[in-house]
Structure 1
């Protein structure tokens, strides 16, 4: 009987938020910057599945005040989103409704257990347009400067004019799509997902999440610089356009493997630098044996 109630509640929620789900799916499919959003619901389902044994042991103690707080906040977000046609706020309302439903049906303990999974749903939401434009412009300019310096470091006469890199007669335009914001969003979601799967200290997890920013910048600069170098080396090749198109796409595909390597190196370095709490506890509590010199027994007089 309870399963039927849950199914009806899910159906009502899907009906109420169907326009939001449709707009989010369209964003994931047609905006490369948020293509990772297609995988977010599946990863969230996996996170909840990993906690299935803990969830079975939690008794249902509905929390009406907490549920009312989440649902009333969601209602305010939904109303504001309807007035200003603001998709991120509408998506946030959906997450708040899910949190409110968990509080209403199962209670605080259940919500505490599934909170990381529900929080990860934020990566499925698009950024506000003004924030997206601001980040994209700054990252675009920073990627242009860093790529120019890297090309100069390897011996190329590169200079930048705005967001265009000049190498002799070659002009390499760093368009908004090359700003690295897409990789930043993907790497931030990826790094956060790793922290939810590994058993490490909060210090390690925090450093790992924050490192998504420099890693996204590094791999984007490497991609731009490699593409610029290919333009220089293949300037007189007969099949220049086809080769450059393939190299441009190939460098884009290689961003994720390179980022994975950098994340792996970072985890290894953090393992050397940071002592996990349980290891530190074992080291501190380890008994120290001291070899005492043997004292010869005294002979009786």
Structure 2
């Protein structure tokens, strides 16, 4: 049967209860979105999910609804993981459990036919979860050192004297530290999100779609190296104050714009170029 008024009421009630259960972990996550420019995309993810679902509205309403015991299994598992993680102070598992419990709830209430269309929009919500600090700490130092080394080499090719020591760049009149926040780890997540959207929109095969998602990693790394290089050049002429405040935040937006443009170009090429 199609989705009737009674079904809408029950689904709305269950979604309200789901929201109330998971509300305690939402304020902290929102603060993390607002507190770091690399997490700002978290504000966009729920809006993108709503947009993607609305794009499927007519197709969804033409489907029959059913219940699924597998959806109930996913829902219960998500709730158990959430309770254990929340009680133990595990923020990241609790947030992941929030998304999967929503998936299970919808699967249980609406059935498999609906979820075949909703699987991407709902699981896309995983991108709103900030990268755990433990993961950032694990990979940030190698990425810091690599980005600093390559940026120093580029700056030297521009005939600007610079000496690198670890994640520090020393110029004639100033010095610049490539901090953990500039390692590029978090920007990889935001650009991977963009690559996933492009892959979802792509009309090509799975190979090219996967290539779009994977391309986000080197694009993010290149964009971050260019950001550090540009900041280093400006610091050489205007001092290290260019690495702080408005210019630092603006450079983050430039990196995001560069990544978006690069992924958009790759998307266009993969969707227009003929295979020999």
Q: CA deviation at 1:121?
A: 0.7
Q: CA deviation at 1:227?
A: 1.4
* 1:40–1:121 CA contact under 8 A, matched in 2: yes
* 1:63–1:108 CA contact under 8 A, matched in 2: yes
Alignment of 1:169-248 (within 5 A): 169-234=173-238, 241=241, 247-248=247-248
Partner of 1:31: 36
Partner of 1:115: 119
**Which structure has the greater CA radius of gyration?**
1
- Find 1:135's aligned residue among 136, 139, 158: 139
For the pair 1:255 / 2:259, whether they are aligned, the reply is: no
Partner of 1:265: 265
CA distance in 2, matches of 1:246, 1:18: 33
CA distance in 1, matches of 2:251, 2:132: 29
* 2:131–2:186 CA contact under 8 A, matched in 1: no
Q: CA deviation at 1:28?
A: 1.4
Q: CA deviation at 1:216?
A: 0.8
For the pair 1:19 / 2:24, whether they are aligned, the reply is: yes
* 2:234–2:242 CA contact under 8 A, matched in 1: no
CA distance in 1, matches of 2:268, 2:242: 40
| 1:201-241 CA-partner distances (Å, limit 9, x unpaired) | 21221111111111111111111111111222346xxxx95
Partner of 1:59: 64
* 1:163–1:173 CA contact under 8 A, matched in 2: yes
Give me the TM-score of the superposition, normalised by structure 2: 0.89
* 1:230–1:244 CA contact under 8 A, matched in 2: no
Q: CA deviation at 1:268?
A: 4.1
CA distance in 1, matches of 2:246, 2:28: 32
CA distance in 2, matches of 1:189, 1:195: 10
Q: CA deviation at 1:23?
A: 2.4
CA distance in 1, matches of 2:97, 2:250: 39
CA distance in 1, matches of 2:265, 2:144: 26
CA distance in 1, matches of 2:93, 2:249: 34
Partner secondary structure for residue 172 of structure 1: strand
Partner of 1:96: 100
Partner of 1:296: none
Q: CA 1:268–1:11 in 2, change beyond 3 Å: closer, same or farther?
A: closer
CA distance in 2, matches of 1:75, 1:248: 40
Partner secondary structure for residue 159 of structure 2: coil
CA distance in 2, matches of 1:133, 1:158: 27
| Count of equivalent residues | 271
- Find 2:83's aligned residue among 79, 82, 85: 79
| 1:116-137 CA-partner distances (Å, limit 9, x unpaired) | 1111111011223311211222
Q: Which has the higher helix share?
A: 2
CA RMSD of aligned residues (A): 2.3
Q: CA deviation at 1:243?
A: 10
CA distance in 2, matches of 1:113, 1:266: 26
CA distance in 1, matches of 2:242, 2:133: 35
* 1:62–1:106 CA contact under 8 A, matched in 2: yes
Partner of 2:3: none
Alignment of 1:42-57 (within 5 A): 42-57=47-62
